Protein backbone atom coordinates (compact mmCIF):
# COMPACT_ATOMS: atom_id res chain seq x y z
CA UNK A 1 0.00 0.00 0.00
CA UNK A 2 2.84 2.39 0.86
CA UNK A 3 4.31 2.12 -2.61
CA UNK A 4 1.02 2.85 -4.37
CA UNK A 5 0.28 5.85 -2.11
CA UNK A 6 3.80 7.15 -2.75
CA UNK A 7 3.43 6.76 -6.52
CA UNK A 8 0.04 8.50 -6.48
CA UNK A 9 1.56 11.28 -4.35
CA UNK A 10 4.36 11.86 -6.85
CA UNK A 11 1.89 11.83 -9.75
CA UNK A 12 -0.30 14.43 -8.00
CA UNK A 13 2.67 16.64 -7.18
CA UNK A 14 3.76 16.36 -10.81
CA UNK A 15 0.27 17.45 -11.91
CA UNK A 16 0.30 20.37 -9.46
CA UNK A 17 3.78 21.48 -10.56
CA UNK A 18 2.81 21.19 -14.23
CA UNK A 19 -0.26 23.37 -13.76
CA UNK A 20 1.75 26.06 -11.95
CA UNK A 21 4.52 25.89 -14.52
CA UNK A 22 2.01 26.24 -17.36
CA UNK A 23 0.51 29.42 -15.89
CA UNK A 24 3.99 30.82 -15.18
CA UNK A 25 5.15 30.25 -18.75
CA UNK A 26 1.91 31.67 -20.11
CA UNK A 27 2.20 34.76 -17.88
CA UNK A 28 5.74 35.47 -19.05
CA UNK A 29 4.97 34.83 -22.71
CA UNK A 30 1.60 36.58 -22.88
CA UNK A 31 0.15 38.09 -19.69
CA UNK A 32 -3.00 39.16 -21.53
CA UNK A 33 -3.92 35.49 -22.03
CA UNK A 34 -3.75 34.79 -18.30
CA UNK A 35 -6.01 37.72 -17.48
CA UNK A 36 -8.42 36.91 -20.30
CA UNK A 37 -9.56 33.93 -18.17
CA UNK A 38 -11.17 36.44 -15.79
CA UNK A 39 -12.11 38.98 -18.48
CA UNK A 40 -9.56 41.61 -17.40
CA UNK A 41 -7.76 43.70 -20.02
CA UNK A 42 -4.20 44.82 -19.46
CA UNK A 43 -4.11 48.33 -20.88
CA UNK A 44 -0.59 49.38 -19.91
CA UNK A 45 2.90 47.98 -19.47
CA UNK A 46 2.78 48.30 -15.67
CA UNK A 47 -0.21 45.96 -15.60
CA UNK A 48 1.55 43.52 -17.93
CA UNK A 49 4.72 43.59 -15.83
CA UNK A 50 2.70 42.96 -12.66
CA UNK A 51 1.07 39.85 -14.14
CA UNK A 52 4.45 38.67 -15.44
CA UNK A 53 5.87 39.21 -11.96
CA UNK A 54 3.12 37.68 -9.84
CA UNK A 55 1.94 34.82 -12.04
CA UNK A 56 5.21 34.38 -13.93
CA UNK A 57 8.15 35.19 -11.67
CA UNK A 58 6.55 34.25 -8.35
CA UNK A 59 5.01 31.22 -10.03
CA UNK A 60 8.43 30.01 -11.23
CA UNK A 61 9.79 30.56 -7.72
CA UNK A 62 6.96 28.52 -6.19
CA UNK A 63 7.48 25.73 -8.72
CA UNK A 64 11.17 25.56 -7.81
CA UNK A 65 10.49 25.72 -4.08
CA UNK A 66 7.77 23.06 -4.21
CA UNK A 67 10.00 20.82 -6.34
CA UNK A 68 12.90 21.08 -3.88
CA UNK A 69 10.62 20.49 -0.89
CA UNK A 70 8.94 17.51 -2.55
CA UNK A 71 12.23 15.90 -3.60
CA UNK A 72 13.75 16.30 -0.14
CA UNK A 73 10.66 15.15 1.75
CA UNK A 74 7.50 13.94 0.04
CA UNK A 75 5.44 14.50 3.19
CA UNK A 76 6.50 18.15 3.31
CA UNK A 77 5.69 18.49 -0.38
CA UNK A 78 2.18 17.21 0.25
CA UNK A 79 1.76 19.64 3.15
CA UNK A 80 3.03 22.48 0.96
CA UNK A 81 0.39 21.73 -1.67
CA UNK A 82 -2.31 21.23 0.96
CA UNK A 83 -1.68 24.76 2.21
CA UNK A 84 -1.16 26.16 -1.31
CA UNK A 85 -4.44 24.91 -2.77
CA UNK A 86 -6.53 25.45 0.35
CA UNK A 87 -5.33 29.06 0.67
CA UNK A 88 -6.48 29.67 -2.90
CA UNK A 89 -9.86 28.20 -1.94
CA UNK A 90 -10.04 30.29 1.25
CA UNK A 91 -9.33 33.40 -0.84
CA UNK A 92 -12.22 32.59 -3.15
CA UNK A 93 -14.52 31.91 -0.20
CA UNK A 94 -13.46 35.23 1.35
CA UNK A 95 -14.30 36.96 -1.94
CA UNK A 96 -17.76 35.38 -1.83
CA UNK A 97 -18.30 36.60 1.73
CA UNK A 98 -16.96 40.13 1.13
CA UNK A 99 -17.94 40.82 -2.48
CA UNK A 100 -20.69 38.36 -3.34
CA UNK A 101 -21.02 35.19 -5.41
CA UNK A 102 -18.35 34.03 -7.82
CA UNK A 103 -19.06 33.50 -11.49
CA UNK A 104 -18.44 30.30 -13.46
CA UNK A 105 -14.63 30.61 -13.59
CA UNK A 106 -14.32 31.27 -9.86
CA UNK A 107 -16.74 28.51 -8.90
CA UNK A 108 -14.97 26.00 -11.12
CA UNK A 109 -11.58 26.87 -9.66
CA UNK A 110 -12.92 26.84 -6.12
CA UNK A 111 -13.97 23.23 -6.67
CA UNK A 112 -10.62 22.35 -8.25
CA UNK A 113 -8.61 24.04 -5.49
CA UNK A 114 -10.65 22.40 -2.73
CA UNK A 115 -10.27 19.02 -4.46
CA UNK A 116 -6.51 19.42 -4.91
CA UNK A 117 -6.07 20.66 -1.34
CA UNK A 118 -8.10 17.82 0.14
CA UNK A 119 -6.35 15.30 -2.13
CA UNK A 120 -2.96 16.53 -0.92
CA UNK A 121 -4.10 16.34 2.70
CA UNK A 122 -5.55 12.84 2.21
CA UNK A 123 -2.33 11.58 0.63
CA UNK A 124 -0.30 13.16 3.43
CA UNK A 125 -2.46 11.46 6.08
CA UNK A 126 -2.45 8.11 4.24
CA UNK A 127 1.34 8.13 3.92
CA UNK A 128 1.67 9.10 7.58
CA UNK A 129 -0.66 6.26 8.61
CA UNK A 130 1.15 3.72 6.43
CA UNK A 131 4.55 4.85 7.77
CA UNK A 132 3.32 4.48 11.37
CA UNK A 133 2.13 0.93 10.67
CA UNK A 134 5.46 0.08 9.08
CA UNK A 135 7.39 1.52 12.05
CA UNK A 136 5.18 -0.39 14.50
CA UNK A 137 5.83 -3.66 12.63
CA UNK A 138 9.56 -2.94 12.61
CA UNK A 139 9.54 -2.21 16.38
CA UNK A 140 7.68 -5.45 17.10
CA UNK A 141 9.96 -7.58 14.93
HSE (side-chain half, CA atoms, 13 Å) at 63: 19
What are the tens digits of pLDDT across the range 34-61? 999 899 999 999 999 999 999 999 999 9
Position 138 scores a pLDDT of: 65
Give me the pLDDT at residue 17, please.
Answer: 98
Q: Quick one: which H or E segment has residue 137?
A: helix 104-140
What are the φ/ψ torsions at residue 61 (nearest 5 degrees)? -60, -45
Sign of CA dihedral 131, 135, 137, 141: positive
Phi-psi region of 44 (alpha: psi -120 to 50; beta: other; left: phi over 0): beta
Domain count of the chain?
1
- pLDDT tens, position by position, 72-126: 999 999 999 999 999 999 999 999 999 999 999 999 999 999 999 999 999 999 9
**Residue-range definition of the domain harbouring residue 111:** 2-140
**DSSP classification of residue 62:** H
Residue range 9-22, pLDDT digits in tens: 999 999 999 999 99
User: Global pTM?
Assistant: 0.88
Sign of CA dihedral 15, 16, 17, 21: positive
As a whole number of angstroms, the distance between CA 138 and CA 27 comes to: 49
Amino acid sequence: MKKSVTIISYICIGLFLSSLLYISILAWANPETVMAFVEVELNNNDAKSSIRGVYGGVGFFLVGLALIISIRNLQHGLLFFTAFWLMYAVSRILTTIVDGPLEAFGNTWLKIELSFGLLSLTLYLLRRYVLKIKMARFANA
